[in-house]
Amino acid sequence: MPIVDFARYCAMLDSALEGRYAYPAVNVLQMDTLNAAIEGFAAARSDGIIQISVAAGVCASGKAADPVLGAISLAEHAHRIAAKHDVGIAVHSDHCPTQKVDSFLRPLIAETARRRARGEANLFQSHMYDGSALPLKENLRRSVELLQLCRENDLILEVEAGVVGGEEDGIRGAVQVPALTSGRPSVGAVARPGDRPQRERLYTTPEDMLDVYETLSAVEGARFLLAATFGNVHGVYKPGRVQLRPAILKAGQDAVMAKHGPRARMHLVFHGGSGTPEAEIRETIEYGVVKMNIHTDTQYAFTRAVADFMFKHYDGVLRIDGEVGVKQQYLASTWLEAGRDAMAARVVEACRILGSAGRSMGQ
């Protein structure tokens, strides 16, 4: 099946919101992890989302270190591989901070615009602008500009209100994990006039969600997703380090719907969900989460399988004590296959937990 178009993508998200399930959004770094993600969606009979970050674009472009080149190459590969499977796949660019909008996000939108002018399908289906480091008013001003550009090209825009702590692909949040337990700002954090206390910036308020809805819904014909924050942190941590408050999402949705009616219920995104108990994941879905980013867990699954292969076959992948090793074991295709299979299995598990397994609209 070809990569989904705008109408099909919107239908996927609407179906998830109404049906109380969510799609895994899997970050990929190169062709092997991209293949593993799509193979996992196909095995689970689930539609899904492939995510490409600035760091992924740099990785995929090799020594060129060109994030746009790498992102375009990965997206083009996704189109070709998705066509071999019968589930719906959307391609999304992840976590573009304000300082990289002109060097990453806008060039990707421009590439889609060029293709549309030639009568070709969109390269990407959605993009994320992460303006969470800015005051909300400025964040939304910039978000509106990008949302208008996305609307012109049948793209969905994801925005973030509040701050997801931790670090993702080299982008470090304004609030770090120690702030969760100590109650003090993280080392190096800089308070700005009018800022809420650092720890509280991890929690989006109902007023924030209402501002986001009213500002972005005013862009007629546009579609957006909101990554609201409720204590979520990028990475994975031992139990007790991260204090999630999923009820914050309910409070925000209730505020929006109380003023604008049930049809205003927003499509939400869960960032930093690795290691979250299943019960809390299901609770967020009840409150409107339709997309959950899966990065740390899937990358670990890939690397863990490769490490396992290397430890078990160390005398085959290395030429030890004058021997010649075993070519079939040190061939990259062999150990990369182990990583792909393990990552695909983790994607299947994510589809089961989020409730998207067996619900592909292409079935």
- Whole-number Å distance between alpha carbons of 248 and 229: 8
User: 140-150 burial, b if ≥16 CB within 10 A, otherwise e?
Assistant: beebbebbebb
What is the DSSP track for 67-136?
HHHHHHHHHHHHHHHHTTSSS-EEEEEEEEEGGGIIIIIHHHHHHHHHHHHTTPPPS-SEEEEE-TTS-H
- Catalytic residue status for 47: no
- What counts of helices (H) and strands (E) characterise the chain? 14, 10
C-alpha distances out from residue 257 to 250, 252, 261, Å: 10, 9, 4
C-alpha distances out from residue 214 to 126, 140, 254, 319, Å: 21, 10, 14, 64
Helix (H) or strand (E) holding 290, with range, is strand 289-294
The catalytic residue among 94, 154, 169, 208 is 94
- Whole-number Å distance between alpha carbons of 145 and 156: 13
Residue numbers annotated as active site: 94
